[in-house]
A and B are shown apart, each in its own frame.
Chain A
Amino acid sequence: MPVSPWRSLRVRLISSVVIIEIVMLSLLVWSNIGLLQQAYADRLRDSADSMLKQVATTTGGYLIAIDYASLEEYLRNIADNDELSYLAIFDRDERSVVKLGDMPDTPWPALDEHPLQVSDGIFDVAAPILIGDQLLGQVRMGLSLTQMNAAIHTARVNSVAIAGTEITLTILATVFIGLRLTRRLGRLANAAQQVGAGDYTTTVATEIDDEVGKTAAAFNHMVSEVSERTRRMQNLLARERVIEETSIDGMVTYGDDLIILSQNPAITSLFGYAGRALIGQPVTCLLSDENWEGSHWKQPTPTRTELTGLRKDTTEFPLELFIGRVDLDGKPLYAATLHDISERKLKEHECMTLLEGNRFLVHKSLAVQEEERRYLARELHDELGQCLTAIQADARIIHDRSGDADSHLKASAQAILTLSSRIYDVVHSMMQRLRPVVLDDLGLIAAIEEEVNAWQQRYKTVDLQFNVDGDVSALEETINISVYRIVQEALTNISKHSEATRVTIELAKQECDDTACLLLKIEDNGGGMDPGQRNRGLGLLGMRERIEAINGSFSIHSEPGKGLRLQARVPLPEYETA
């Protein structure tokens, strides 16, 4: 298909410049000739006016003196003008008294207003000759337009010649520059096509430091930049490709329509799809969770979310999903990372099992320990207590019967009484620590009150408050002994480390998550501690183990200098709340 020559930049450029040049120069020549004609005409009119004024104002004296000879001589002197065709002076009777030049035929031609309005080639003008208001005659002059017309003609010819020359030179220069310019632009266009085809080694010679040369230099720089950036981009893509292809996590990208656009190799092994079979499939086919709807796929996740993956063979496995979003060309592009957590879940399950076992063992251990303590306490109470009582009874008898006769024996009996009493106190104290009898006899509240009172007796400057809220009298043995031991250990710690002046112990039965629970809160205003400190002692660790062994939760709230608050929450079996 033939291409119109007007589609060529070269043709359009040259044609436009030439046409504009011709039009503008024609207008310029036409305008200049008009201005020149007007200027010549104005100059001729001004010259005529000037001569008329001079003659009219200087010849009155000659006329009043009837001195025409002198007048003619005077006029010959001042009328030395090549353009003057004729000059005539008329007296008051309109008789010509002086005639100079070529007089026109009578009747005298009509006067002209402007040289451009002259039709006979002579610009006829006249003026009255006055002295004051006395009319003494008239001066008539005719100025030939021959010189003006010749000058205008010469100017016109010169202007046309100059315009023609300029047009010719313009055409030549435009053609030359146009060809040169478009040739270089053509080279630029070819180079651009080569770059577009991926050949970044292409360069264009700048040749001349003009606009095209600067454009070529800029093009070369741009190609260099594009080449460098492309290389960097390719490197970056390669690195990211390596990451994607070697990653054990599955990765897919999808658009707003949830259709998978790309995938990495790991997703194949993760979900069992061969090759790039996932591309074009909806991303929702990767999960089995019914609650995870399509809209969730469009919400970037701040953290990894645990979901259930669905393999091609419909088997399920746990996974972590992370969704990110970027906008490309105003459209969202989502990237999902799917991490198989089957192994981790298995380990977690194993850990939980071990933890449960550990807790069971601790629970059993504590139960055994408490049972042993109670046994020991009972044995001490039943066996050792009976023996001591018998010893004391015998010693009393010996002491009483010995009287004053055998003072040595009496003293020994007294010593036995004193020693047995001390042993009894020690045994009693040991029984209290091993297993407070009151806990079994009167329950948890009484046992804590007894412990509190005993502690208060030892530390009378401390304001110790014990408050109970709710019925906590029929609790399980393990709960009772755990709570009691925690109170006992806490008071021991306060007395050892806290230097508190006020201690509050609260025990309450509450509703926790629709079930009944026992809340123990021990708070003091002592020196406190750093909860993050590792070497906090075995006391607090033992408290936590006791509570967690009965499925409770234990927390420590403290800051150095701001006291300490221990809080234990223990779920109560259903039958206990009834």
Chain B
Amino acid sequence: MIRLSNGARTLWIMILWMLAGSIFAQTPHIQPAGPQPSRDHLVFGFLPIVSPERLVRRFSPLVKYLSTELNTEIRMETAPDFAQFVDRTQNEKRYDILFTAPHLYYMASKNAGYQALVRVDQASMQAVIVAPTRSNIRSIKDLKNKRLATTGSLALSTLLARQLLLENNINPETDLSLVATPSHSASLLSAYQGTTDAATLMLPVYRRVQPHLRQGTVIIAYSHHVPHIPIAVAPWVDTSVAARIQAALVDMRKNKDGRAVLRALEWPGFISASDDAYEALGPIVDQIEVQ
């Protein structure tokens, strides 16, 4: 048994503390900030805006980039649908990093303490309501007693459309029928083919659809603008790791690998985000039943 003096013991403790600090400085450390899962990797949760396969193919370069920058394993995850994603975000605390819709971030922030680090450096988003050119629907008021195709109750376009209807004194529950479809494209097609009378979808998506679909439909209403998609971190993620994530994302456009990822995503880059920009989404979120 080795006996040490008090001074020597203090010196050994300091040396061990410094070694431990240096080790933790090299490896991202998930700082517990409440109930959190214990694991040696970060989980990046992605809102299932497209199929899981397309989601992986689209965002795996971003995940790989971040994993390389942070020198730690980051795993992609998603959920079968928006509702389960929201549930896993707020109740199961599965995601360390969160890629979600603006209004769902608002919910995650309020209910689970997620903190937005960056958002896509693009103009704010808005939804539109379109109707076939062959129909007599030329304004939002013409939608009474009609069928409006949407993308599910939790979709941002649906919430923005509901807000727009309410602002035009049209009760979405009683004055018309909301028909849920699997995607924005499905909503537009249902209106174009006559299954529904009109459709609501996000404007960037409408601009990218096939020309004959755009030529066969006409925008009859625009929604309010909302901030672009944010990337947030869970409250239990160490602030230093969060800062490194933020820095890596903001600096993507500054290095070759980052620019390659952004080109694949067709995004110009990320800028720092603040919760203030998403506060305006409160009224919209209030409509969500799952809130």
Contact = CB atoms under 8 A, between A and B. Distances in A.
Interface of A: 60-62, 64-67, 70, 92, 131-134, 136
Contacts of A64: 52, 55-56, 76-78
B269 interface: no
A133 B60 CA distance: 9
Nearest to A131: B56
Contacts of B57: 131-132
A132 B79 contact: no
Interface string B39-59: 000000000100111011100
B80 A131 contact: no
Interface string B186-206: 000000000000000000000
A92 B75 CA distance: 9
B52 A131 contact: yes
A462 to B, nearest CB: 137
22 contacts: A60-B52, A60-B53, A61-B51, A61-B52, A61-B53, A62-B52, A64-B55, A64-B56, A64-B77, A64-B78, A65-B48, A65-B77, A65-B78, A67-B79, A67-B80, A70-B80, A131-B52, A131-B57, A131-B60, A132-B56, A132-B57, A134-B60
Q: What 4 pairs between A and B have smallest CB-CB spacing?
A: A61-B52, A131-B56, A67-B80, A64-B52
Contacts of A67: 79-80
Contacts of B56: 60, 64, 131-132, 134, 136
Contacts of A132: 56-57, 60
A136 B56 CA distance: 10
B52 A134 contact: no
Nearest to A62: B52
Interface of B: 48, 51-53, 55-57, 60, 75-80, 88, 94
A66 B76 CA distance: 10
A95 to B, nearest CB: 12
B79 A66 contact: yes
Given A66-B94, A132-B56, 20 more contacts: A60-B53, A60-B56, A61-B52, A61-B53, A64-B52, A64-B56, A64-B76, A64-B77, A65-B52, A65-B77, A66-B77, A66-B88, A67-B80, A92-B75, A131-B52, A131-B56, A131-B60, A133-B60, A134-B56, A134-B76
> Which of A61, A62, A70, A92 has most chain B Cβ within 10 Å?
A61
A132 B55 CA distance: 11
A62 B52 CA distance: 8
Q: Which of B51, B76, B80 has the most CB of A within 10 A?
A: B80
B41 to A, nearest CB: 9
Given A60-B52, A60-B53, A131-B53, A65 B60 contact: no
A133 B55 CA distance: 13
A62 B88 CA distance: 15
B74 to A, nearest CB: 11
A64 B54 CA distance: 11
Contacts of A61: 51-53
A92 B56 CA distance: 15
Contacts of A131: 52-53, 56-57, 60
Contacts of A70: 80
B128 to A, nearest CB: 29
Nearest to B55: A64
Nearest to B63: A134
A55 to B, nearest CB: 14
A368 to B, nearest CB: 158
Q: Give the interface centre of B51, B52, B75, B94 by most chain A CB atoms within 10 Å.
A: B52
Nearest to A69: B80
A359 B55 CA distance: 152
Nearest to B80: A67
Contacts of B78: 64-66
A65 B53 contact: no
B233 to A, nearest CB: 20
Contacts of A66: 77-79, 88, 94
Contacts of B60: 131-134
B264 to A, nearest CB: 12
A134 to B, nearest CB: 5
A397 to B, nearest CB: 181
Nearest to A92: B75
A60 B88 CA distance: 19
A65 B80 contact: yes
A71 to B, nearest CB: 10
Nearest to B57: A132
Contacts of A133: 60
A385 to B, nearest CB: 168
A134 B52 CA distance: 12
Given A131-B53, A132-B57, A65 B75 contact: no
A291 B102 CA distance: 147
B63 to A, nearest CB: 8
Nearest to B52: A61
A38 B77 CA distance: 43
A72 to B, nearest CB: 13
A67 B80 CA distance: 6
Contacts of A134: 56, 60, 76
A187 B114 CA distance: 112
A70 B79 CA distance: 12
B53 to A, nearest CB: 5
Contacts of B79: 65-67
A408 B53 CA distance: 187
